[in-house]
């Protein structure tokens, strides 16, 4: 298929002047609008107005129906509206979508700046697999990114927003090299503030940033002490995970000074011949009392991963990653049958699952 597309590409490039216009017309019937050139401007303007109405409704619903375990219909409907708006190729280029993301993040930042945790933990979802978890003693960021993968500079978090987020955190764990998880601008911000960034060795391997990064050993059940800026320490296990064969993936499990154990799976996926990681996944809960697990919702057999960690709370991530093509932006409703997943089943199961939207938080009290 790729070869065919290349040939067509060359064919169209060969035209000039009128020929090119005809080729464009063939590609954009009745179109030429922005941001979607296949639609007229009037059609694009309608989709903008619809996005605004839908996302205003999302915010209105979420403000009345905050995150809970086993959420009700109203909150689920808000997420369906989000799925509808963001499963359109040019969603990130529409102003209402940009305003929604920045509005949610602004709310998160203010909340983060004002929140003191005395007991348990507070969990915020920023974007994709980007989470921030705060306990009494520490604030930990996982796979924190600016949303640059969506491709729109106006969607991407600003330098000011990024600064304010990083200011609130003590350490950043990055699971693997893909840019919906590893954002160099964010990592540099942490390092420039004297805050550790932990990644697998294949992340930014030949980049000047590499020597400043902390590379912990990827060994199951090996507890490593990580020292933070002001000599506080964290107990860390880096489980040797994988995203099939495409990336080495750190599954980080951290125990804070209060004894709260938090795990984040990055893009962990096991299927077909790559099932070896279940050897350690299946054993985690036999060795640890896990409090909070943040798994990637699109992984195959998320049930088995959750069973392996057996956490007191599951907070899935990676819904609606706009850097992916439309069908591959895992919706909140799951699309399980097509994708052969069991995420929707997990949400209906006995496990305590709280699915956050960008900018939302949930208070965990053991």
Rounded CA separation 310/190 (Å): 31
Closest to Zn ion by CB, 232 or 324: 324
Closest to Zn ion by CB, 180 or 183: 180
Rounded CA separation 165/162 (Å): 5
Closest to Zn ion by CB, 170 or 180: 180
Closest to Zn ion by CB, 120 or 130: 130
Phi/psi at 22 (nearest 5 deg)? Answer: -65, -45
Quote the least distance from Cβ 266 to Zn ion, whole Å: 8
Closest to Zn ion by CB, 134 or 318: 318
Secondary structure, 3-state, the chain: CHHHHHHHHHHHHHCCCHHHHHHHHHHCCCCCCCCCCCCCHHHHHHHHHHHHHHHHHHHHHHHHCCCCCCCCHHHHHHHHHHHHHHCCCCHHHCHHHHHHHHHHHHHHHHHHHHCCCCCCEEEEEEECCEEEEECCCCEEEECCCCCHHHCCCCCCCCHHHHHHHHHCCCEEECCCCCCCCCCHHHHHHHHHCCCCEECCCCCCCCCCCHHHCECCCECCCCCEEEECCCCCEEEEEEEEEEECCCEEEEEEEEECCCCCEEEECCCCECCCCCCCCHHHHCCHHHHCCCCEEECECCCCCHHHHHHHHCCCEECCECCCCCCCCHHHCCCCCCCHHHHCCCHHHHHHCCCCECCCCCCCEEEECC
Closest to Zn ion by CB, 165 or 247: 247
Closest to Zn ion by CB, 183 or 267: 267
94 CB-near residues (< 8 Å, 6+ apart): 35, 47, 48, 51
Quote the least distance from Cβ 115 to Zn ion, whole Å: 27
Closest to Zn ion by CB, 98 or 175: 175
Closest to Zn ion by CB, 267 or 319: 267
Bond from prior residue into 35 cis (ω within 30 degrees of 0): yes
Quote the least distance from Cβ 244 to Zn ion, whole Å: 12
Quote the least distance from Cβ 322 to Zn ion, whole Å: 12
Quote the least distance from Cβ 128 to Zn ion, whole Å: 7
Quote the least distance from Cβ 74 to Zn ion, whole Å: 29
Binding site for Zn ion (CB under 5 A): 180, 267
């Amino acid at each position: 298929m790729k070869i065919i597309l290349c040939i067509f590409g060359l064919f169209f490039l060969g035209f000039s002047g009128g020929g090119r216009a005809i080729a464009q017309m063939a590609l954009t019937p009745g179109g030429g609008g922005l941001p979607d050139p296949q639609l007229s401007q009037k059609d694009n303007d309608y989709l903008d107005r619809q996005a605004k109405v839908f996302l205003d409704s999302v915010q209105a619903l979420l403000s009345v129906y905050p995150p809970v375990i086993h959420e009700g219909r109203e909150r689920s409907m808000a997420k369906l509206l989000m799925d509808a708006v963001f499963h359109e190729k040019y969603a990130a280029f529409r102003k209402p979508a940009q305003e929604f993301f920045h509005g949610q993040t602004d709310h998160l930042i203010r909340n983060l700046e004002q929140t003191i945790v005395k007991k348990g933990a507070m969990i915020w979802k920023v974007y994709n697999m980007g989470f921030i978890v705060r306990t009494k003693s520490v604030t930990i960021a996982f796979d924190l990114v600016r949303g640059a993968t969506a491709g729109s500079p106006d969607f991407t978090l600003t330098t000011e927003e990024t600064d304010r987020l990083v200011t609130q955190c003590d350490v950043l764990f990055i699971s693997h090299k893909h840019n919906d998880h590893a954002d160099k601008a964010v990592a540099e911000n942490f390092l420039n503030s004297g805050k550790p960034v932990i990644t697998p060795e294949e992340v930014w391997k030949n980049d000047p940033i590499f020597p400043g990064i902390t590379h912990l050993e990827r060994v199951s059940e090996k507890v490593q002490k990580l020292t933070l800026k002001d000599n506080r320490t964290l107990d860390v296990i880096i489980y040797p995970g994988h995203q099939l064969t495409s990336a080495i993936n750190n599954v980080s499990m951290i125990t804070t000074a209060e004894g709260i154990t938090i795990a984040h799976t990055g893009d962990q996926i096991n299927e077909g011949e790559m099932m070896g990681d279940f050897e350690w996944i299946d054993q985690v809960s036999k060795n640890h009392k896990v409090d909070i697990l943040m798994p990637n919702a699109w992984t195959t057999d998320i049930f088995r991963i959750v069973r392996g960690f057996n956490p007191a709370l599951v907070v899935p991530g990676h819904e609606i990653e706009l850097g992916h093509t439309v069908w591959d932006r895992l919706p909140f409703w799951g699309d399980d049958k097509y994708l052969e997943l069991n995420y929707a089943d997990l949400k209906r199961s006995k496990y305590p699952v709280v699915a956050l939207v960008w900018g939302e938080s949930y208070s965990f009290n053991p």
